[in-house]
Amino acid sequence: MRTALVRRTVLTASAVSLALLGTACGAEKADPEADAKPSAPATSAAPAAKGKTAAELTPLLVTQAELPDFKVEADAAAAAAAKEKPAESDKPECKPLIQLQSYAAQGKPAGTALVAATSKPKPAAEGASMGEKLDAAMKGLSVTRTSVALNSYDGKGAEEAFTALKTAVTACAGGYTVTAEGETTKIEKVTPGAPVAGGDESLTFAVVMDLKDGDKATWQYAAVRKGGTLATFSSMNLTGDAEQPKPVIEAQVKKLG
């Protein structure tokens, strides 16, 4: 059985799979009456870092040329899913994870840019039999689709967003329940993975989801912070367990500098 949370996510991937088949400024001034003695000129506090706008983030997204083994395209479906009524959890500490699963940004970013990268299925070999071609076509549905989101923040917003995710991964290791559109989905466990190279800080983790009727699915997630920008990666597979998209993560992190 597909729950509402799963349906939201699947809708962002199905069309792609089928196609593959075929300023805050704090200048504090010295009070001249506070001390009659001559003093050095007052030093202005450094202005808070400003986050990048969507227009500034978009050129930083990975492109088709950088990921030849993937189909890279605008992630309009994820953008639409993020506008749905927010899902809820039985554990408030797990909210950051649910936001990521629902394609909603952590905190209040100054700008957001999205792209999707879907692994390309291997075509049947030249001269393959009809059975081999059908097998290749079916395997074409079992591809991992990754939604990449770049969210940029003012001040320490990116650090706070990353910390919220990291804390939730630990706090929610034993699982939690998600309610969306009146339907519940049980996340059985959250398993942390190895951090990725690059960025100022990073994390990866997997969630095991109970789809009911005995079916389960494992989806993969990653987050990498570089300065005031937080890159997140949400990976799913329509027919099985998703793979951690290392090529996508590595290419995106490299592009962030």
Are 106 and 96 in contact, with CB atoms under 8 Å apart? yes
Per-residue confidence (pLDDT) for residue 27, from 0 to 100: 38
Identify each DSSP E strand in 120-257 by its residue range.
144-152, 176-180, 183-192, 201-212, 215-226, 229-237
Q: How many CA atoms lie within 13 A of 250 on its CB side?
A: 7
The conformation of residue 106, written as its DSSP 8-state character, comes to S
Per-residue confidence (pLDDT) for residue 50, from 0 to 100: 92
Residue among 211, 202, 225 at smallest CA distance from 178: 211
Question: Residue 13: what are its φ and ψ, rounded to 5°?
Answer: -110, -25
Rounded CA separation 257/254 (Å): 5
Per-residue confidence (pLDDT) for residue 47, from 0 to 100: 65
Per-residue confidence (pLDDT) for residue 132, from 0 to 100: 73
Q: How many CA atoms lie within 13 A of 148 on its CB side?
A: 32
Please list the alpha-helical segments (H only) found in the chain: 4-21, 54-57, 76-81, 95-101, 130-139, 157-171, 246-256
Rounded CA separation 171/163 (Å): 12
Per-residue pLDDT of the chain (257 residues; tens, 9 = 90+): 445 455 445 444 444 444 444 423 333 333 434 344 444 444 455 567 899 999 999 999 999 999 999 999 999 878 887 777 788 889 999 999 999 998 999 999 999 999 999 998 877 778 778 877 777 666 666 789 999 999 999 999 999 999 999 999 999 999 999 988 888 999 999 999 988 999 999 999 999 999 887 789 999 999 999 999 999 999 999 778 999 999 999 999 999 98
Per-residue confidence (pLDDT) for residue 46, from 0 to 100: 56
CA atoms 158, 160, 161, 166: torsion sign: positive
Per-residue confidence (pLDDT) for residue 34, from 0 to 100: 39
Contacts of 31 (CB under 8 A, 6+ apart): none
Are 209 and 6 in contact, with CB atoms under 8 Å apart? yes
Residue among 19, 4, 10, 257 at smallest CA distance from 147: 10
The conformation of residue 23, written as its DSSP 8-state character, comes to -
Residue 76: helix, strand or coil by DSSP? helix
Strand-pairing partners, residue 207, are 190, 219
What does the radius of gyration of the chain's CA atoms come to, in whole angstroms?
22
Rounded CA separation 152/71 (Å): 25
Does pTM top 0.85 for this prediction? no
